Structures are given as C-alpha cells and as structure tokens.
Amino acid sequence: MLEKVQKTIRRHNLLKKGDSVLIAISGGADSVCLTYILWQLKKKYGLDIRLIHFRHGLRSKKREDKEEKLIRNLAKGFGLPLNVKKINVSEYAKKNKLTIEEAGRNLRYQSLIDSAIKNNFDKIATGHNLDDQAETVLFNLLRGSGLPGLRGIPVIRQEKGVGIIRPLLGISRKEILQYAEERNLPFSVDETNISFSYTRNRIRYELLPLLEKYNPRIKEHLAHLAEIVREEEVKKEEKVKKIIPRLIIHRGKKIILDLKKFLCYNEISQDRIIDYLLESWGRKSFVHFTALKELITEKKTGKSIDLGRGWRAEKVDSKIYFFPK
C-alpha cells in the first residue's frame, strides 16, 4: 500500500521536499494508516508533521476520552505533536440549519484551515479513501447534484493558500483495514458510521453492496468517473470564471446578476454560470438549480426564492438580487 500511496503523491504532486503537514486524525483506521504512512515518508520528504484531533461532543464523554487517549498514545509512539480541539457540532447545526454531517464537516475544515494558516502549514492531509469517493459520487447523484456533484472528492484542492490533500483516495477501505491489522495499528470504530439514520451509511451498507453484485469493481469505476468529470469541469470552470465578472455586481452584502448580459450566452454557458453561483453558497441540489433557472425566466418582477444556507434570490426587472435573509 505504501507504494500505491507514493504513486498517488507523485502523480498529483501532493508533497514536496520540506512540506509542513497537518494531519486530521479521528482515530479510525483511515486516519491512523494515513499518519503511519506519512510518518514513514517523513525522512524521505523532510516533512514537518503535526496531528490535530476534534472532539465533536456528539458521543459520551467516556467514548471521546477513550478515543483521545488512543490518539495521544499514537502521537507519542510516532513522536509527533498533537493538538486536540473541541467543536460544538450540535449547536452549529441548529444555528445554521444544517444536518449534523454538514455541520461537523464545516466546523472541521474551518478549524483545520485556521490552524494551518496560524501555524504556517503548507498542507492539510485527510484520510479519505476509495470507498469515500464512491459513496460521495452516489450520494450527490441521489440528491440530484448534476455534473458538479459527480466530481466527488478532489485528491488535492487549495483553500486560502493551503493545500488539502488525500493521499489514500485510491486505496479501498478493505485494503486499509488489512494494512492496519497486519501492522498492529490500533484504531477506533465510530458507532455513528454504522447508524442507518445517516444517508451516507445506507449507501455504504445497502446500496454499494447491492451494486457490487452487478459489478465487483463498481467503487473503482465510480472513482474513475469522478476523475473524468472533474477534469472536464475544471476546464469549464476556468471559462465561467472569466465570464462571471462581466455579469455580476457586488453591492454590500448583495450580489446582482445582470440578466441582459446573462441571456446573451448560450444555454450551456448559462447553466454553468447558475451552477457556479449556487456552489458559491455550497448548494449543489438540482432543486435549487431548477428554482433559480425558473426565476431567471419568470416574466413577473418581485418574485423571490429560498436558496438555503441563509440566502435568497429575487428578480427585479432585468436583474437577480442574491442576498442573505
């Protein structure tokens, strides 16, 4: 597995000599193996590695204490510094009207990026794997995300000057578990990853196993699809980014879309612009896409729609106003 990970690192230029890397470690097999592998590559790349662990406050204190103890022992064994942070996921989810999954993800990444910037880290590494990629593609497909959602999880992306890397994205969960067991790496099992109250878990334990009966390599094919779509979407996004400044005006907290200019573009370009605007607020739902497209073609003025995430859109004459509600 080490060689497969190194191929991914070389292919996507995930690491360079002297990089400082902040590893998000949950205590699960994925993040423990990621830590072990990057620790093995520490000397080769001259890496400066620090671990960060989040206590979400979603499980019992006893359970979170046990998980933290495991991680502290791992950090000590690897000789790596560790930072433990508490985040209030439930409160954040309620305040921002998000699911627990969305809230947890948002808070983790906010904290990861803030920590990386504050401590001058070049990269943030997470333990996402091949199964996560396949599940994400199916999850987005089921919620009607369109092509943007089929891009899945990027192996590397930039956020505020920090590279977020996923060296294990080409490795299956089965391979990771086997690797951990063969090397006697201790890891914890998060009971929320088994609960069927989460859509992603139903995809993991019900839908994917069913699809594997039709094609045992379905996870690899879904990951390959994501890679193909991502490459095409990146090309299209570059074109859209050049168009957007010609169409929108920022006025305080409002964003104004000039429909006269917008309607000069063909339908494909219009759809790409709508996708881009929606993704600015993290909305990938086909429902929001359709609603915004209908608002644009609406003849009456004054009609408005809810875009979620605390944003609305309103048509006034030949303009669409986007504003926080």
Amino acid 73 reads N
Is this structure's pTM higher than 0.85? no
Flag whether 234 is in a domain: no
Residues 220 and 260 in one domain: no
- The confidence score (pLDDT) of residue 277 equals 82
Tokens 């699960």 -> residue: 28
pLDDT in the model for residue 76? 97
Q: What is the mean pLDDT of residues 277-282?
A: 72
pLDDT, position 323: 87
Whether 48 and 118 share a structural domain:
yes
- 146: domain CATH number is 3.40.50.620
Q: What is the CATH number of the domain that holds 275?
A: 3.30.465.60
Q: Is the pLDDT of residue 111 over 70?
A: yes
Asked, for residue 246, whether it belongs to a domain, the answer is no
Residues 219 and 256 in one domain: no
The answer to whether position 238 is within a domain reads no
pLDDT tens for 284-308 read 577 888 889 999 988 888 999 988 7
CA distances from 218 to 76, 106, 206, 207, 322 (A): 39, 29, 14, 11, 40
- Looking at the structure, tell me whether residues 65 and 29 fall in a common domain: yes
Q: Are residues 203 and 271 in the same domain?
A: no
Domain stop point among 186, 205, 224 = 224
Contacts of residue 270, defined as CB under 8 A and 6 or more positions apart, other chains included, come to 262, 263, 296
> CB of 196 within 8 A of CB of 205?
yes
**Phi/psi at 304 (5° precision):** -135, 160
Same domain flag for 120 and 48: yes
Q: Specify if 237 maps to a domain.
A: no
Number of structural domains, the chain? 2
Kindly state whether residue 235 falls inside one of the protein's structural domains: no
Residues 54 and 103 in one domain: yes
Least confident of 8-12, 107-111, 148-152, 257-261: 148-152
The answer as to whether 171 is a domain residue is: yes
Q: Are residues 213 and 290 in the same domain?
A: no
Query: Which domain range does residue 296 map to?
Result: 252-324
Range with the poorest average pLDDT among 111-115, 128-132, 277-281, 299-303: 277-281
- Any domain includes 245: no
Determine the distance from the C-alpha atom of residue 297 to the mean position of all C-alpha atoms in its chain, rounded to a whole number.
32
